[in-house]
Structure 1
Amino acid sequence: MDVTLTQLRYFTEAAAQLSMTGAALRLNVAQSAVSAAIAQLERNIGTQFFIRQRSKGLVLTPAGELFLRDAQAILAHVEESLDHARGEQQSVKGRVRMACFSTLAPFLLPGVLTRLREEHPALEVEVLETDISGCVSALINGQADLALCYDLNLPEGIAGSVVHTARPYLALPPNHELAGSDSVPLSALKDESFVLLDLPHTRDLMLSIARLSGGEPDIRFRSASYETVRTFVARGLGYSILHQRPQHKLTYDGGQIATVEIRDDVPELRTVLAHLQSQRPTARVRAVAQAVRHQIVAAKAASPKK
């Protein structure tokens, strides 16, 4: 039984794109080449990996889902062996795909990509901005080699390396009576309007913190956009609880928010670099991980104290 690395690459890309055409575009080959390679792979192994749906793309079969993880591990091992043969001192090249939690992206990605362009100009980085569920799905489905996300209910099989820990803070309107305080107990905001950052898993964390005030938060407004939440707060529509801290207090529409520490004992939020436990990081993945860690150190040094 002859199985080639080309067949494995074509299979994993088709699984990531759920499309033969999409895989062909990503691989810069003819769609017929991808289809033929995967068909031959299925014949060699004796099982069907995809259900072909006319005009609807591909669906992985249970056998295809199992084989995908093994194929990814094989390709990662081959890449790692080639990295060792070339030596770690040279600039890495090729393509690496990273999923990134949407609220982290504007804070970290520009610096990370700039650093990588300077240190590894031949490295191509593709970024998928999504929520935590999207990050996990991208890793499992082979759409991403690593994910920069929060440690929020990561499932079994996903390994996460902590790169940063953030304590939540209060975002208040600038004219709020508590805006000039160093710290405030959540009970002081018990009866005030709450603006919720409404993302999967994130909303549960924010609400659990708000409930430490002793009551159920009065959610008047909610948004999946971090900046929209800040703008609502600046307009006096309520307070919010956030983790990431911009370099300034301005909002998109020219308003300002006040940031105040929470006096209560509140859970911190960990930022992690996640990958499949079954995959060993390649030199390309390690280069991206190093750039992320360096950027977090730089951002932390430049962040406002309050």
Structure 2
Amino acid sequence: MRFTLRQLEYFIAAGETGSISQASERINISSPSISTAISQLEQELEVQLFVRHHAQGLSLTPAGRVMLMEAKRLIEQAEAMYSAATATSEEVRGQLNIGCLTTLAPMILPELALSFMSAFPKASIRPFADHQETLLSGLHKATIDVAITYDLQIPQGIDFLPLVDLPVHAVVGETHPLARQSAVTLQELVELPLILLDMPISAEYFMALFLKEGLQPTIGFRFSQPDVIRTMVANGYGYTLANVTSRSEQALDGRRVTRVRLAGDHRPMTIGVATLKQLRKSRLLSAFSAHARAFISDSYIPGMVAPAMGHKRR
């Protein structure tokens, strides 16, 4: 099944009100999110649910009327299941759709998901990895329930629970002249080729570090794949900037990179748990947020060198 109960709820609201705008007011969800959910349902079910009338709302198609009854039945059954579970047990159960930022997912997501399912055996996790814009869109469209991401351009409609701050640092190949330094400044880096992580919002963050100092970096290459950047750096094509600190210093080809502290006062990135503010938090979602808060901190991050450990190392 590739649709969610939330998408069904959006469809029901539109079907019963006959209007996207009225459905938006009824369930306090933006009109574009409702429209997108309905379009995704139509695509998944391969059926037209509504006839759209310009400036006159919506009319259910014959198939839409049947689907509306079935959708309401599914929602009622789901609510009955949760009610029964609440009445008979305090266990956390159900499937949680978790999105994670591409740069964080390889390190954080596997261990965090496994530890949560070990703590709550009746819970299951369906993981997704993507860039920031897609994760925020997924929360609004109800295709994901929660996102592990950075505090970059978080809109007002999203709740963000901060977990740990990650300072920015430079990454160079182990034979690079800067690899022997304990710290480096942006002024020292500005003339060197930067291999930029070219992902939405992330690229803006790294460029802003230079602009704040009145500098313009020399961009040698742009890639949206972190592993490609790491391998290019390890092979001496340039340096990169990063907040993530992998426990492994090896690139995929076996060559090594070195992390160098970036001197100066620079905005860190904060890892946190993002959820849609308007939706009531389920027991499952609340349990996951609490688990993430207990599991990720300044002294421990799955798959990464935590900031406190990095300080001790130096």
Q: TM-score range by the shorter chain?
A: 0.7 to 0.9
Residue of structure 2 in register with 1:176 after alignment: 176
Q: How does 1:1-306 map to 2 (within 5 A)?
A: 8-9=8-9, 11=11, 15=37, 18-20=40-42, 22=44, 48=58, 82=83, 85-86=86-87, 90-211=90-211, 214-297=214-297, 298-299=300-301, 303=305, 305=310
Give the superposition deviation at 1:136: 1.1
Q: Please state whether the residue corresponding to 1:18 is helix, strand or coil.
A: helix
Change (3 A) 1:182 1:82: farther
- The one-letter code matched in structure 1 to 2:301 is A
Q: In 1, are the aligned partners of 2:245 and 2:304 still within 8 Å (CA)?
A: no
In structure 1, how many angstroms separate the alpha carbons of the residues matched to 2:7 and 2:102? 33
Tell me the number of residue pairs that the alignment of Structure 1 and Structure 2 aligns.
265
Change (3 A) 1:86 1:242: farther
Q: In 2, are the aligned partners of 1:158 and 1:277 still within 8 Å (CA)?
A: yes
Change (3 A) 1:254 1:293: same
In structure 2, how many angstroms separate the alpha carbons of the residues matched to 1:186 and 1:6? 46
Query: How large is the Cα RMSD of the aligned pairs?
Result: 3.7
Q: In 2, are the aligned partners of 1:111 and 1:295 still within 8 Å (CA)?
A: no
In structure 1, how many angstroms separate the alpha carbons of the residues matched to 2:222 and 2:266? 21
Change (3 A) 1:183 1:284: same
In structure 1, how many angstroms separate the alpha carbons of the residues matched to 2:84 and 2:238? 53
Residue of structure 1 in register with 2:15 after alignment: none
Q: Name which of structure 1's ranges 196-205 and 182-191 shifts more when overlaid on structure 2.
A: 182-191
Give the superposition deviation at 1:195: 0.5
In structure 2, how many angstroms separate the alpha carbons of the residues matched to 1:281 and 1:299? 25
In structure 1, how many angstroms separate the alpha carbons of the residues matched to 2:61 and 2:205? 38
Q: Which runs of 5+ in 2 are unaligned?
A: 13-33, 65-71
Deviations along 1:249-280, whole A, 9 cap, x unmatched?
A: 10001011110101111111112211111112
In structure 2, how many angstroms separate the alpha carbons of the residues matched to 1:226 and 1:168? 15
Deviations along 1:108-154, whole A, 9 cap, x unmatched?
A: 11111111221122212122211111111111111111111111112
- The one-letter code matched in structure 2 to 1:48 is L
Deviations along 1:90-112, whole A, 9 cap, x unmatched?
A: 33111221221111111111111
- TM-score scaled by structure 1? 0.74
In structure 1, how many angstroms separate the alpha carbons of the residues matched to 2:61 and 2:188? 57
Q: In 2, are the aligned partners of 1:95 and 1:126 still within 8 Å (CA)?
A: yes
Q: Name which of structure 1's ranges 187-196 and 5-14 shifts more when overlaid on structure 2.
A: 5-14
Q: In 1, are the aligned partners of 2:108 and 2:302 still within 8 Å (CA)?
A: no
Q: Please state whether the residue corresponding to 1:107 is helix, strand or coil.
A: helix
- The one-letter code matched in structure 2 to 1:240 is T
- The one-letter code matched in structure 2 to 1:254 is G
Q: Which runs of 5+ in 1 are unaligned?
A: 24-30, 53-57, 59-70
Q: In 2, are the aligned partners of 1:16 and 1:142 still within 8 Å (CA)?
A: no
Q: In 2, are the aligned partners of 1:190 and 1:213 still within 8 Å (CA)?
A: no
In structure 2, how many angstroms separate the alpha carbons of the residues matched to 1:177 and 1:212? 26
In structure 2, how many angstroms separate the alpha carbons of the residues matched to 1:82 and 1:256? 54
Give the superposition deviation at 1:291: 3.0
> Once the two structures are aligned, what percentage of the paired residues are identical?
22
In structure 2, how many angstroms separate the alpha carbons of the residues matched to 1:50 and 1:248? 55
In structure 1, how many angstroms separate the alpha carbons of the residues matched to 2:241 and 2:87? 48
Q: In 1, are the aligned partners of 2:247 and 2:303 still within 8 Å (CA)?
A: no
- The one-letter code matched in structure 2 to 1:257 is V
In structure 2, how many angstroms separate the alpha carbons of the residues matched to 1:241 and 1:50? 52
Give the superposition deviation at 1:22: 3.0
